[in-house]
Each structure stands twice: as structure tokens, then as C-alpha cells.
Amino acid sequence: MNFETYTYFVWTWIAVALVIFVVLLFITAPYGRHTKTTWGPLIDNRLGWIIMEVFVLVVLYCFVLKGQNKQSVTNYIILSFFTLHYLNRSLVFPFRLKTRGKKMPVVIMLMGITFNLVNGFIIGYFFGNFKVYDEAWLGSFPFIAGTILFFTGLVINWQSDTILIRLRKPGETGYKIPTGGLFKYVSCPNLFGETIEWAGFALLTWSLPGFAFFLWTFANLTPRAIAHHRWYRKRFPDYPKDRKILIPYVV
């Protein structure tokens, strides 16, 4: 695939993200607290997460290592950021969940696999064939600012996930109002953190595939945050009225 065809493909993928964003504003993806049995066969929640998320790293490194480019140290540093997120998401986070007996629709898992296959291809093919960052890039403003943004989002995401996981004591089921961290300000700081992460990745790579990944993250997680916020308010009459949805003090 030449660069022109690749670019056309990525812009098409971005257009799909915009459509998905609109759809998700009206149809809540049925997993987690929003799981519905009407969406077909179900799979164990933990197993579904692992299968859904692990594919992205496999596909990514297949294209990186089989590509025409000789990878630079800077390339591998950038790829390590991506890898860190997905190692946590696929091999750490699922085993921290206290969701014994919970299920997710198989169709949601398959959608997640599809997204990760395409995303892994877009990022991997870019690094494998089109872009080699030199060492000077490590001192550039986009890299430094993007790295700060990426790890700020990572810390917010991991801290917020930890707060949610610790809400349930051993043997407990059901839901509680989360407190602490950025939950003081928004209903979904975990999703806010992840959005910041990939905004940082887009900035530190200063690339079209980085931007595409950020846009897909925004398109998926913003409607999810809106659905969570509505769910909290409906389920808990005493839910804090001053909490925003996703961005502190804004919305």
C-alpha cells in the first residue's frame, strides 16, 4: 500500500468515527452497567475484555516488524507508550475487575476486536513503512507536550479505574456512587483520562493515524460518559448535582 492509498484509508476510518459518534449518542453500547441480553449470546466479561484488547498489540507489531522501515530508538519509545496502555488494558485491568458472573454480548467483543484490528493496522503500518522519528524529535515541543499529556491521562485513567474497582468489597454486588480523585468533579474521570491519553499520543506523534485514534476514542467515550452520567442520576437520587459529565468545570 502506498502512502496516498494509506492516507485515503485513514480519512475513511475517521469518517466512520464521526458516524459512530452520532449513532452512540442515541444507542448506548450494551456492556458493563448497560448490558442487555437482547443483543445475542453473552461471554464472560473478563474473558471478553482480554480477547477484545489483546489483538491490537499482535497486529501492531506484525506490521511494525514486517514493514520496510528500520525502526529508530524514538519509534520504539513512542510504541512503548502505546504498548503500556494496552498491556494494562488486556492483561492487567481484566483481572482487577470484581465482576464475577457478569457478561458482555459477544457482538460487543467482536466490534471491539474489529476496532483494534483496524487501529493496530493503521498505527503499525505507519511506523512500519512511512515514519521514522529521529532522536531530535524527543526534544521537540509536540513530543514533550504530548508525552506530558499522555502520562497525565494515563495516571487519571488508572487512578479512576482503581477507585471504581475498590467500590465493591469482596462478595459485594451492585453499584455505589464513586468518590475521590476527579470523581469530585466529573462522573467519568476514567474516560476523561483515556481521552487525554490519546490526545497526547496524537500530539507527540504529530500524525494523521494518531489523530484518527484520538478521534475514535472521543467518538466512543464521550457518548459513553453521557450515558453513565444519566444512569447515575437516574439510579441515585442523592447523586451530586454539581458533577459534570466528562471535563471538569466544563461539561
pLDDT digit string (tens) for 124-143? 999 999 999 999 999 999 99
pTM of the model: 0.91
Percent of the chain having pLDDT more than 90?
Answer: 66
174-217 confidence digits (pLDDT tens): 788 898 899 999 999 999 999 999 999 999 999 999 999 999 99
pLDDT at 32 over 70: no
Q: Which residues share a beta bridge with 44? A: 103
Q: Rounded to 10 degrees, what is the CA torsion of 224, 167, 96, 155?
A: 70
CA 200, 201, 206, 212 torsion-angle sign: negative
Judge whether residue 170 has pLDDT over 70: no
